[in-house]
Structure 1
């Protein structure tokens, strides 16, 4: 559990630095920094997605996950959660919810979150999550400066998500083949690329509603193995 704890702590500390120490930097610097991070995120996402070896499964996972996510409307519930926290803290303007949702999605999706948490749970190897902590911390400073205190609270779902994967990995380690990990990571990486697109302001994608897609490869490959047996 050390990996998820360190990752969450890095987000809290660095986001607070952004909120209280980095605020006031010229808007043009914030804007170009966000664009640079957006492009970097797109690159990381595409690079991770290229590790995929089952293109049809990836497409099927994205489509099925999108349908499931839209039916549940995860994006709406996450925004409601952020808005509720915003009201409880006496804030307004929507920046809390935006920071909370954007940071939560970005930090929870992608190959590093999934694989790192699995490694933490299965092998006690926290190196991937430590590396992710550095990346998340850097982004948290920029997010904290531009979107406020909501970014700090994104550490909560990040910890719950990654700790949950680590604990689940320990419980079902026999089902987590390298094939499953690779395909789940590839789908997650596509979601990371979508976050990067949102950063650029090209087109707003409700990435939260795509989160179920990450788990479709697990269900499909497990079903496939059971049927073939």
Structure 2
């Protein structure tokens, strides 16, 4: 095997799952597709709850001064949101989705952009994407990415049944994102401590809550603008751990 094969399998799983979902989706009524989207929203919130568990783990709490575990998450989200808003990441993602929608000749009424943005965020967020890619780059096995690929296959199938081809196109940013972490693993080895991974996972869980709220049409949270928080979280955790 070669470095990056785990991400390649993951990309194929997303495309395959989305294709199957679209094939099945045409046979479903609009009411049923809406129900599936609601179910995915609830499942996303459940996944978010799971990602928040490290906030109370001994490894994370004991690595930071008293009172700082939650402040690190809050600070990451605030600074990440400011950076993302200044860069207009949410608008850029929407614009990219619109360009891809036109390229794939999807109708304007189709949920192409929502499918692309939502699936891109969902498939990229989480410790498996980062840890699995780093492990792949270090030639330590692809077990984590195989697990992620299985989960993403069924998620893509469910999402695409109601959100269309945008879900399949989300494989592109996933490939770039995980490819980046694979290169990091290949060049540098393990670069994150356990508590840093926990910080990133917790912030990812908060972003998943935002995605869940969007899917349930409760609140259109600009999750794209919060993406820099994922990069800030491990850095801020390291600074607090080292200097406070």
RMSD: 2.0
In structure 1, stretches of 5+ residues that fail to align are: none
1:25 aligns with 2:41: no
Cα distance in 2 between the residues matched to 1:224 and 1:56: 10
Q: Cα deviation per residue 1:135-160 (whole Å; 9 max; x = unaligned)?
A: 21112112222122121111111111
Cα distance in 2 between the residues matched to 1:42 and 1:140: 16
Q: Cα deviation per residue 1:158-190 (whole Å; 9 max; x = unaligned)?
A: 111011112113333353212211211221122
1:116 aligns with 2:116: no
Q: More displaced, 46-55 or 2-11?
A: 46-55
Cα distance in 1 between the residues matched to 2:167 and 2:154: 12
Residue of 29, 38, 41 corresponding to 2:41? 38
Partner residue, 2:101? 86
Whether the 8 Å contact between 1:115 and 1:185 is mirrored in structure 2 is no
Partner residue, 1:8? 11
Cα distance in 2 between the residues matched to 1:92 and 1:26: 18
Q: Cα deviation per residue 1:56-80 (whole Å; 9 max; x = unaligned)?
A: 1111111111111111111111111
Alignment of 1:62-77 (within 5 A): 62-77=77-92
Cα distance in 1 between the residues matched to 2:200 and 2:13: 25
Cα distance in 2 between the residues matched to 1:168 and 1:199: 32
Alignment of 1:120-199 (within 5 A): 120-122=136-138, 124-173=140-189, 175-199=191-215
Whether the 8 Å contact between 1:114 and 1:185 is mirrored in structure 2 is no
Cα distance in 1 between the residues matched to 2:243 and 2:138: 26
1:60 aligns with 2:75: yes
Cα distance in 2 between the residues matched to 1:30 and 1:90: 21
Q: Kindly tell me: are residues 132 and 171 of structure 1, through their superposed partners in 2, closer, same or farther at Cα, counting changes over 3 Å?
A: same
SS in 1 for 2:107: coil
Partner residue, 2:118? 102
Q: More displaced, 135-144 or 165-174?
A: 165-174
Using the size of structure 1 for normalisation, the TM-score is 0.90
Cα distance in 1 between the residues matched to 2:18 and 2:179: 20
In structure 2, stretches of 5+ residues that fail to align are: 61-68
Q: Cα deviation per residue 1:205-227 (whole Å; 9 max; x = unaligned)?
A: 11111110011122224445675
Cα distance in 2 between the residues matched to 1:173 and 1:55: 28
Whether the 8 Å contact between 1:86 and 1:96 is mirrored in structure 2 is yes
